[in-house]
């Protein structure tokens, strides 16, 4: 099977508006209120849940909203191999995929957390984090694990079959792409069903359909996978 290159820039950026609130109303409301409130509480927030429930989407939505307001954001994920030092210019520290952190990334995350909560200058900063399990079960150094768990903790629930279809349909509509019920059935039955994989597949299909000037159909999906 040929490895396909994704066409970047086709999907809309993550936002609160293109995230399915059900069944994550409580977590989404918390994040919306925090981002909209200029007098933000510095109490940290942790989102946790299995892969594909939208944790990274929400963290990126928070970052995009803050950047749009002119705020500086510190971002650390498992792909950040050389984390920078904490910056006093940051208004927020965001830590994604904490369960995957190396020892060096854990050290950086702990340093960021301490400096954010007890800064040398200014008021305490909010720390927003995400992981695939509750804080007590995280494979992290004790001082970081306990700090991640002492604030607001929200579990994001897996989507039902109906909601997974709604998310896929909305994502296609946002791209101006039509997905028939047969195509959606094919995608859900033949490919990994977590949202991350489905969104990546939709990106590939969208790009391939644009390059070939064809609608997204089951034959097009097979053609794409065959590399023709």
State the pLDDT at residue 23.
74
pLDDT at 1 exceeding the cut of 80: no
Coil, helix or strand at residue 44: coil
Instruction: Identify the domain boundary among 100, 127, 155.
Output: 155
Residues 147 and 173 in one domain: no
Residues 60 and 117 in one domain: yes
| pLDDT band, very low/low/confident/very high, at 228 (cuts 50, 70, 90) | low
Range(s) of the domain holding residue 165: 161-226
State the pLDDT at residue 11.
59
State the chain's mean pLDDT as an integer: 88
The winner for highest mean pLDDT among 20-29, 139-148, 172-181, 212-221 is 139-148
Instruction: Identify the domain boundary among 155, 178, 210.
Output: 155
pLDDT at 18 exceeding the cut of 80: no
* Separation of first and last alpha carbons in the chain: 10
State the pLDDT at residue 77.
97
Write the CATH number for 216.
Answer: 1.10.8
Give a yes or no: residue 9 inside a domain: no
Instruction: Identify the domain boundary among 95, 124, 155.
Output: 155
- In this predicted model, which residue has the larger pLDDT, 210 or 98? 98
- Residue bearing tokens 């995230």: 19
- Rounded to whole angstroms, the Cα distance separating 114 from 110 reads 6
State the pLDDT at residue 105.
98
Residues 144 and 175 in one domain: no
Residues 171 and 140 in one domain: no
- Mean pLDDT in residue range 186-213: 86
Q: How many residues does the chain have?
A: 228
pTM of the model: 0.78
- Rounded to whole angstroms, the Cα distance separating 201 from 204 reads 5
pLDDT at 39 exceeding the cut of 80: no
Residues 151 and 174 in one domain: no
């Amino acid at each position: 099977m040929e490895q396909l290159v994704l066409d970047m820039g086709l999907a809309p950026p993550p936002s609160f508006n293109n995230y399915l609130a059900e069944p994550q109303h409580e977590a989404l409301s918390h994040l919306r209120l925090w981002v909209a409130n200029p007098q933000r509480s510095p109490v940290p927030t942790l989102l946790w849940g299995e892969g594909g429930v939208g944790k990274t989407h929400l963290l990126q939505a928070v970052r995009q909203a803050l950047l749009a307001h002119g705020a500086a954001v510190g971002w650390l994920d498992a792909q950040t191999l050389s984390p920078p030092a904490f910056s006093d210019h940051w208004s927020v520290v965001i830590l994604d995929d904490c369960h995957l952190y190396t020892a060096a990334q854990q050290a950086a995350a702990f340093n960021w957390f301490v400096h954010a909560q007890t800064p040398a200058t200014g008021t305490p900063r909010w720390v927003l984090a995400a992981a695939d399990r509750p804080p007590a079960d995280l494979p992290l150094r004790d001082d970081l694990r306990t700090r991640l768990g002492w604030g607001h903790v929200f579990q994001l629930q897996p989507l039902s079959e109906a909601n997974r279809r709604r998310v896929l349909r909305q994502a296609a509509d946002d791209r101006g792409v039509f997905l028939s019920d047969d195509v959606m059935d094919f995608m859900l039955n033949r490919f990994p069903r977590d949202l991350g994989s489905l969104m990546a597949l939709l990106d590939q299909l969208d790009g391939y359909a644009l390059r070939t000037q064809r609608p997204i159909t089951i034959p097009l999906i097979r053609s794409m996978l065959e590399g023709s």
